[in-house]
Amino acid sequence: MYHTTDRTETVIDALTAQFRDTLREWAKKAKSSDTITLYEMEQDVRTGLHALGGKVMQGLVDMVGTGKTEAPVLCPECAKPMAFVRYQGKSVETLLGAVHPERAYFHCAGCRQGHVPLDHQLGLGADSLSGGLEEAICLLASHMPLEQVADQLKRLLMVDIDDNTIQRAVIRVGSAMVAHQKQDGERAWQESEPPQMEVDEPPKRLYISADGTKIHLRSGWREVKAAALYETRATVKSDGTTEIRAVNITYVISFEPVEAFARYVYLEAARRGIEEAEEVVVLGDGADWIWNHIADLCDKPVEILDFYHASKHLEDAAKALHGEDTPEAEEWTEQRCQELLEEGPDEMLASLWQAAGEASAEVRKAVIKEIQYFTQRKHLMHYPELRAAGYHIGSGSVESACKRLIGARLKQGGMIWSRAGAQAMAHVRTKVLSRRWDRFWKGYDRVTQTYQPAA
């Protein structure tokens, strides 16, 4: 079937007539009723425009044609003319209802490859979703369980999509992100020069905070590593004190070993200007991999034990000494935290040693375990000097990252994931929360399911 007749004006006239008739119906209903509400009018207009929008979409798709032209279609592989075989219909769900493009299918005898030019022009993937609907699915799924996504799509957009289709869309897009991260990491390590900075001005202090958390997979609990990269801003509170807050936060996530994760963190840090930054600050808990891999991403970083983690270890000592959730434990923890912040680790350790000496043998063992933790990390806890110099000593920035990226979405009650599903969802959510979604989506080829960043 050849689309040789220009049907543009015919389609426009038909759609215009339909809209005119629909508008008359709305006007008649509004004028003839003394009880109609704004909500009722709103629902009528939404329903009518949605139905009309579907017809507009179908008309526009028909105007584009089938992908068959008088010029030969060249094979993407060998660049030789391909033979036309047949027309193939396809049903595609869009934000405005289903459309049914008719697509010309070509075949190359030499390469034994098929080709559908219209799919590439319209950005049609192997699925039955338009790009706009797939994007909406992923954005919603990054914030809520899949069954809620289906409900919200139907309620807000009048699109009826089942859970399985939603799941496949997220895995498809998220898996492309995972593949690109790996390819980008491998390519960058083969380059002779570091990746280019993508910000207008290099940061004065670039912070990198790293941590790990667990996800329940079908094969068991699996660690996923996360990093938060950010700068800081000093704000004066109502009581006159100054608060150092994290701003411009972007995230990195990976299920891979720490060596690969460190590469991905470096790539994001390079985009953020690590090579031009005046200072790089690394925060983390006591995990050796943070200081052995993340802190090695640059020369002479400022290394800080995140105060949130330090306070948690003081809470553990307080529980051993005074019991869990007791006023005495809370007061003791607050006193030790103040010592650590205002006097430094030596004063706090002296208090811990005194408490251990007065405790029973069993309690002393638990307290000494925490003493050993702090002693090994004294060089990371010079909080009085760090605060005086305006450093952000951490308030759980990466702990918050783990909760935002993973806990809030992938660790809800009863959730057990496939590895592919967990990776895909984590990466989609990371792109959204890092405000990198638009950049990714512009470079994502839905036909080939590959990503090429915009030049």
% of the chain at pLDDT higher than 70:
97
Q: What is the pLDDT of residues 254-282, one digit of tens each?
A: 999 999 999 999 999 999 999 999 999 99
Long-range CB contacts (< 8 A, 24+ apart) of 413-420?
Answer: 415/216, 416/216, 416/217, 416/218, 417/215, 417/216, 417/217, 417/218, 418/217, 418/218, 419/217, 419/218, 419/219, 419/222, 419/255, 420/171, 420/175
* pLDDT for the residue numbered 2: 47
* pLDDT for the residue numbered 74: 94
Does residue 419 have a pLDDT over 90?
yes
Task: Give me the residues paired with residue 89 across strands.
Answer: 102
* pLDDT for the residue numbered 6: 63
Does residue 39 have a pLDDT over 70?
yes
pLDDT, averaged across the chain: 92
Does residue 451 have a pLDDT over 80?
no
Q: Which residues have CB under 8 Å from 144's CB, separation 6+? A: 152
Does residue 214 have a pLDDT over 70?
yes
Half-sphere exposure for 376 (CA within 13 Å, toward CB): 11
* pLDDT for the residue numbered 395: 66
Asked if 66 and 103 count as a contact pair (C-beta separation under 8 A), the reply is: yes
* pLDDT for the residue numbered 454: 55
Mean pLDDT of 172-191: 92
306-310, 417-421, 448-452: lowest mean pLDDT where?
448-452
pTM of the model: 0.89
Asked if 211 and 402 count as a contact pair (C-beta separation under 8 A), the reply is: yes
| Local confidence band at 402 (pLDDT 50, 70, 90 cut-offs) | confident
Angle at 404 between CA 163 and CA 171, to 5 degrees: 30
How many of the other CB atoms lie within 10 Å of CB of 184? 16
Q: Is 258 helix (H, G, I), strand (E, B) or coil?
A: helix
Q: Spell out where 220-327 has E strands.
A: 220-236, 242-254, 279-284, 302-305
User: Between the ranges 66-70, 244-248, 423-427, where is the mean pLDDT highest?
Assistant: 423-427
